[in-house]
Chain A
């Protein structure tokens, strides 16, 4: 079974440009989470999509946006890129368990570098 897949692996953009990152959840998972992890820091929650709807967003400006498609894949868009947006962007999907609890599975991440 394929895990969470993300693309591209690396992306270099110029300040002011837009970046689009993509994510495919594990087959059967309907929820997708996006996190930002700046170098040396913990995970900062960005966005949560479930069944095509945005369910929650973290404390990030509106230039961070995204959507979830009917096949549950998702994309994250970052507009008007700033240098501090340089980070590892992680996508995750959730397996809802009854006895085992809900578990979140991560992709390998997309490295975004803004120069």
Chain B
């Protein structure tokens, strides 16, 4: 059973559109991270959220941590082809137990 479920699994959109990726769990996490991975490379950290209800912005990317620290969302405004990649969420439970989501593969079509 996957501790963190991401949706959608695949997403293909036109350049300029907005999108939201969800990361859900029934478990509480101390913190949650979002990563982007390009083919053949390791995941690169985008953001870490720690406080329930926290919202962080990174240019066109907005990350939100749920109030109960069980879920998170990633919203991309005006998507660009450079946003294409696999987006992974990862939750940290106490004791350095990291759990990864199933991943969302995003394709932005020019």
Contacts and interface: CB of A to CB of B under 8 A. Distances in A.
Contacts of B103: 42-43
Report which residue of B48, B49, B88, B96 has the largest number of chain A beta carbons within 10 angstroms of its beta carbon: B96
> Does more than half of chain A's interface fall in helix, strand or loop, or is it mixed?
strand
Interface in A40-98: 42-43, 45, 48, 50, 55-56, 88, 90, 92, 94, 96-97
A105 B96 contact: no
Interface residues on A, range: 20 to 34
Contacts of A42: 88, 100-103
Contacts, number: 65
B92 interface: yes
A103 B42 contact: no
Contact of B96 (A31, A43, A90, A109): A31
B33 A103 contact: yes
A90 B42 contact: yes
A108 B100 contact: no
Q: Is the interface of B mostly helix, strand, loop or mixed?
A: strand
A45 B3 CA distance: 12
Nearest to B6: A42
B50 A103 contact: no
B52 interface: no
Interface of B: 30-31, 33, 35, 40-45, 48-50, 88, 90, 92, 96-98, 100-103
27 contacts: A31-B96, A35-B100, A42-B88, A42-B101, A43-B88, A45-B98, A48-B96, A55-B96, A92-B42, A99-B50, A100-B48, A100-B50, A101-B30, A101-B31, A101-B33, A101-B50, A101-B92, A102-B98, A103-B33, A104-B33, A104-B90, A105-B45, A106-B43, A106-B44, A107-B42, A109-B40, A109-B42
